Structure 1
C-alpha cells in the first residue's frame, strides 16, 4: 500500500495542475473553450457536409448507373432476340460474345465486370454454364440481389452496394445491377453488371480533406484571434493588478498609462484617481502621525523638567513627614509619592512607544542563555514575589537555552509577564516553563488566579487597556507594559500570545527565533514553535479562547510608509484612575486583568506601604 500511495498522489496532482492553470488564467480558459467549441463545430460540419456530399453524389451516380445498365440490358436482350442459335453451344458462344461486348463498351461508364447466371426458377431443358468476365467479381452477387431479380419484373433493374477489391488489397465502393434477360432455347437468365464508384469516392475524399484543412485553419485562426483579443484585454488587467500590488506594498507613485477612451482607459483613470486619493490620505495620516509622535516625544521630554522639580520637592516633604500630624495630609503625601513614581514610569513608557512607532529602534544582538536571563529577572522581582505570596515554579531544561536576542528587551518582556502574573495570581502558584527546538525558544508564564474571558484575551495587548477598571493595582503600572512587550517580541521576529479563562488563570507565551536576521533584523522560526500557549491543565472548553497577536506576514509594511505599531489601540473610551482606563462597553463584572506594568518599572516596590517603609529605613540609617 505504501508503494502505491505516492504514485496515486503524483497522478492526482498531475491531473489537477491543468485545471489549476485554467482557473488561474482567463486567457487560457478562453482559448481552451474556443478550441473545444471549434473542434466540436468542425466535427459536426465535417460529418454533415461529408454525408450530404456522399448522399448527393451516390444518388446521382446510382441514377446514371441504373440508366446505363437499363440501356445495356435492353441492347443485350435485343441481340439475343435476333440471334440464330440451334444448339446449346451456339447459345453459349452468342452469350459469351454479348458479355464481352458489354464489358468492352461500358468501361467508360465505370463498369468493371459482367456476369450471367441461370435463373433459379427456370425449367428449360437447354442449359448453358454461368458466364462472367471476371471470376473475382462472382462473389459480389449476393443471394438477396438474386432473390430480388428472380422475384422482380422483366425489364426492371435492381441494385445493391458492394465493396470491390482493389489492387492494393483494400476495397472500393461499387454497385451491382441485376436484370432478367431471356435467351433463345435456354429461357430466363440473370444479367449482373458491376460498376465501380472509386472516382466518386475519390471526389468525396478530396472534399473531406479540404473541409478538414479548412476547419483546422479556421480553428487555428480562431485560437490566435482569441488569444490576441484576450491578451489585448488581459494585459492591461494584469498591469492594473501588478500596479495594485505595488501600491499596496507602499509605492504610492504607481500609476497606469491611459490610452484611448475605451473601458480599459476608464479603468486606468479610475485606478489613477484612487491612487491619488490614497496617496493624499496616507500622506495626511503620515503627517498627522509624525505630529502625534513629535507631540508625545516633546511632551514627555518637556514634562521631565517639572517632574524632576516636583519629585525633589516631594522628597523634601517626605523627609519631613514626621512633622506632619494631620492624617489626611500624611495620606495625601503617600498618594503623591506613588503617583509621581507612576507618572515618571508613564513618561518612560511613552518615550519607548514613540521610539517604536517611529521605526528607529535597533536591536542590540547578543548571545544569551534564556534560562539564565529568566533567573536574573526572578531575582530582580523577588520583592514582588515575596509580597504577593505566590510561589514560582520554574520548569526549564538542564542544558542552556541559547538564542541571539536583545537581552535588555527580553528582560523587560519577562519582567512584565511575571509581574503581571503576580498581580493577578492572588497567591496561587505561578508556573514558568522554558522550551526550545532547533530554531526557536519559548517562555510561558502561567498563573492560576482570576483569569481572563475570551473577549479580554483579544484586547489584552491594547495600549492602556484594563478589563476591570475597579480592580486595585498593587504593583503600580502604566497600562503599556504588555503593549511594549509585544512590540519587543515583534522586533525580534517573535510572537507574544495570550490565553485565559475566568477563574482558571491565564497564560502568556513568548516565542523568539534563535537567530536574528542580518544587522539585527527580525529573525524567523517555524510555526507554531516549541511550546503551546494553552497549558496542559486548561479546561477543554477554554481552548477556544486562545488568541495570538503577532506580525502579519501576509501584509508586509513597505519602507516607503511610516512603520505603524504592531499592537492595537482599543476603539472605546478609556478612563482608569490615572485618566486612562479600560472599555466601558465590556462586561465589568467579568474577571479580568490590566494590560500589565510599565516596561521600565523598577524592581523595588512603588506602593505607599513600600514608600513608607523606605522613609523609615532612611530615618534609621541616615
Structure 2
C-alpha cells in the first residue's frame, strides 16, 4: 500500500507537470532557451577544453623532448670520456644511470635502462635498472618491442605506475621518451626510457574544467532568469487577456483590459477593448431583439386566442350544420374546421416555444413507463397511419423502460416523432424500438421513407425547417414539433438525436436518464439502425 500511494503521488505529480508544461508558454520558452544555451555552451566548452588540453600537451611534449635530448646528450658526452681500457660494463652502466636517476628524483621524472639490444627486450627480466619504486610496466610493451633493435628516439603517452608509498615520480598519465646510447665497455646499445608525469597539466586542465563548469552553470541560471523576466513581460498581458476573455465568455461583458504604455501590447489591449465594446453592444442589441421577438410571439399568441375562440364557435356551428348546405359550402365548412384545428395547434406550439425561450418551462416529474406512452401514442395515431397506408410496429424491451420524467412532455415527444415518421414513411412500416439499462431508458422511431441528406440530421430540429420545402404536411403539423421535442428532451437532461440516409429512411433516438438530474454517458440503443449498417 505505501508503494502504491507513492506511485499514485508520483503519477499525479507527473500529470500536473505535463499539464503545466502544455499550458505555460513561459515555461516552454525558458526551457527551450536553457536547452539551447546548454547545447551551445557544451559545444563551446568542449572546443575550449580540447584547445587548452592540446596546447598544454604540446607545450609539455616539447619541453620533455628537449629535456630527454639534453639528458641523452649529456650521457653520451660522459661516455665519450671513458678510456678504451675500461672493460667494466657493469660499472659503466652504473655511472651512466645513477646521475640520471638522481637528477630525475630532483626534477620529478623517472628513468629505465633496458638490457642491451639483441639480448631480449622484456623489461620484466634481470639487468634492468630504473628509478626507485617505479613500476617497470609503465613503459608500454609496444615501445619496448619497437626498441628491440637500434633506432632513433621516439615518444608516446603512457600511464605511470609506482610501487610503495614513497615514490620519486607522481603516478598518473605521463609521457615516455626512448633514446639509445652505446656503452664503450662492451660496445652494446642500451635504451634509456624517460618517464615524465603530466600531473601538473592534468591539474591545470581540471582547474580550467571546473572554471568552465562554474561559468556555464552561472550563465545558464543567468539566461534562465533573463528569459523568464523577458517572457514574463510578454506572457503576463496575454494571461490577463485570457482571463478577461474567459469572463467575457461567462457573460461579464463589462470586463476590459488595463492599457499601460504605447507599445504593441498596449495597442493590442486597446483593440481588444474595442472588440469587447462592440461585442457587448451587439449582444445587448441581439438580447433586446430576442426579448422583443419572444414577447411579440407570446403577446400575439395570447391575443389570438380570443378571436380564435369566436371563430371556433362559428366554425363549429357551420360544421354541425354542413348537412343542410350544398356540397361546395359543406366542403368549405369541413376545410374551415380542419384549418381551425391546425391553427389551434400552432398557437399552442407558439405559446410553448415562448415558455422555453423565456425559461419558464417546468417539469412535473413522475415515474413514467415508456412502453405505456408508446402504446397510447400508437393508438392515437392509428387513424392517421391507416390513412397513409402505414403500420406502426412496437418492439418491446426485455427490461422495463422506466424513467423519472414529465409524462405529458414525454408523450408529446413520442407523438411528434411517430407522426413525423408516418408523414415521411411513404406507405412503409414505422418501427418503434424500446431499450433500457441501469442508467438510461431509450426508444427509437425508424421509418423507411425518403431519409435525410448528409448534414440534415443536425438541421431537422430547427424551427419550421423542411427537408423538402415543396413537400406538403399531410399530418397537419406546424413545423415546431421537433423543435419543441428537443426542448422537452433538454429539460429532462436527455438526448434527442437523428440519423438518416437518402433512400434508406431515418431514425430518431430519444434517451432519458432513469433518475432526473443524472448525467447521461451512453444510450441503450444505437443511433444508426442495424439494417442500415448491413445495407451499407
* TM-score normalised by L of structure 1: 0.72
Relative distance call for 1:409 and 1:118 in structure 2 (3 A) is same
Moved more, 480-489 or 444-453: 444-453
SS in 2 for 1:292: helix
Residue 363 (structure 2) aligns with: 363
| Deviations 1:365-390 (CA, angstroms, capped at 9, x unpaired) | 21111212222333444554555553
SS in 2 for 1:118: coil
Contact 1:113 1:137 in 2 (8 A): no
Match runs of 1:348-387 below 5 Å: 348-385=348-385, 387=387
The Cα shift of 1:64 comes to 2.1
Residue 479 (structure 2) aligns with: 479
Counting matched residue pairs gives 512
The Cα shift of 1:56 comes to 1.6
Moved more, 191-200 or 466-475: 466-475
Match runs of 1:547-566 below 5 Å: none
| Deviations 1:216-243 (CA, angstroms, capped at 9, x unpaired) | 3323333343344344433433343343
The Cα shift of 1:165 comes to 0.8
Unaligned stretches of 5+ residues in structure 1:
1-13, 122-127, 518-522, 544-622
Residue 498 (structure 1) aligns with: 498
Note if 1:444 corresponds to 2:440: no
| Deviations 1:192-214 (CA, angstroms, capped at 9, x unpaired) | 43322222222122222222232
Residue 265 (structure 1) aligns with: 266
Contact 2:138 2:161 in 1 (8 A): no
Match runs of 1:539-550 below 5 Å: 540=534
The Cα shift of 1:135 comes to 6.9
Moved more, 357-366 or 136-145: 136-145
| Deviations 1:388-432 (CA, angstroms, capped at 9, x unpaired) | 553332222365321111111011111222233333445543322
The Cα shift of 1:291 comes to 0.7
Residue 102 (structure 2) aligns with: 104
Relative distance call for 1:537 and 1:119 in structure 2 (3 A) is closer
Contact 2:101 2:130 in 1 (8 A): no
SS in 1 for 2:204: helix
Residue 532 (structure 1) aligns with: 526
Residue 221 (structure 1) aligns with: 222
Contact 1:145 1:160 in 2 (8 A): no
- Report the Cα distance in structure 1 between the residues aligned to 2:44 and 2:163, rounded to whole angstroms: 33
Contact 1:392 1:432 in 2 (8 A): yes
Residue 42 (structure 1) aligns with: 41
SS in 1 for 2:107: coil
Residue 465 (structure 1) aligns with: 465
The Cα shift of 1:119 comes to 4.6
Residue 111 (structure 2) aligns with: 113
Residue 186 (structure 2) aligns with: 186
Note if 1:301 corresponds to 2:302: yes
SS in 2 for 1:445: strand
Match runs of 1:326-345 below 5 Å: 327-345=327-345
The Cα shift of 1:535 comes to 3.4
Residue 592 (structure 1) aligns with: none
- Report the Cα distance in structure 2 between the residues aligned to 1:64 and 1:276, rounded to whole angstroms: 82
Contact 1:439 1:514 in 2 (8 A): yes
Unaligned stretches of 5+ residues in structure 2:
1-12, 120-125
The Cα shift of 1:296 comes to 0.9
Note if 1:407 corresponds to 2:412: no
SS in 2 for 1:186: coil
Contact 1:50 1:207 in 2 (8 A): yes
Note if 1:161 corresponds to 2:160: no
Contact 1:256 1:268 in 2 (8 A): yes
Contact 1:405 1:492 in 2 (8 A): yes
Relative distance call for 1:168 and 1:352 in structure 2 (3 A) is farther
Contact 2:112 2:128 in 1 (8 A): no
Relative distance call for 1:199 and 1:168 in structure 2 (3 A) is farther
Root mean square deviation of aligned Cα: 3.6
Contact 2:110 2:134 in 1 (8 A): no
- Report the Cα distance in structure 2 between the residues aligned to 1:469 and 1:329, rounded to whole angstroms: 31
Residue 610 (structure 1) aligns with: none
Match runs of 1:19-98 below 5 Å: 25-82=24-81, 87-89=86-88, 92-93=90-91, 95-98=93-96
* TM-score normalised by L of structure 2: 0.83
The Cα shift of 1:164 comes to 0.8
| Deviations 1:5-54 (CA, angstroms, capped at 9, x unpaired) | xxxxxxxxx99999887665544443443344333333323332222222
- Report the Cα distance in structure 2 between the residues aligned to 1:179 and 1:421, rounded to whole angstroms: 110
- Report the Cα distance in structure 1 between the residues aligned to 2:107 and 2:35, rounded to whole angstroms: 44
- Report the Cα distance in structure 2 between the residues aligned to 1:222 and 1:119, rounded to whole angstroms: 63
Residue 212 (structure 1) aligns with: 213
SS in 1 for 2:463: coil
SS in 2 for 1:159: strand
| Deviations 1:456-490 (CA, angstroms, capped at 9, x unpaired) | 54543222233445545444222211221121112
- Report the Cα distance in structure 2 between the residues aligned to 1:143 and 1:464, rounded to whole angstroms: 99
Residue 247 (structure 1) aligns with: 248
Contact 1:345 1:478 in 2 (8 A): yes
SS in 2 for 1:251: coil
- Report the Cα distance in structure 1 between the residues aligned to 2:385 and 2:443, rounded to whole angstroms: 18
- Report the Cα distance in structure 1 between the residues aligned to 2:410 and 2:104, rounded to whole angstroms: 110
The Cα shift of 1:261 comes to 3.0
- Report the Cα distance in structure 2 between the residues aligned to 1:426 and 1:412, rounded to whole angstroms: 23
Residue 7 (structure 2) aligns with: none
Contact 2:135 2:162 in 1 (8 A): no
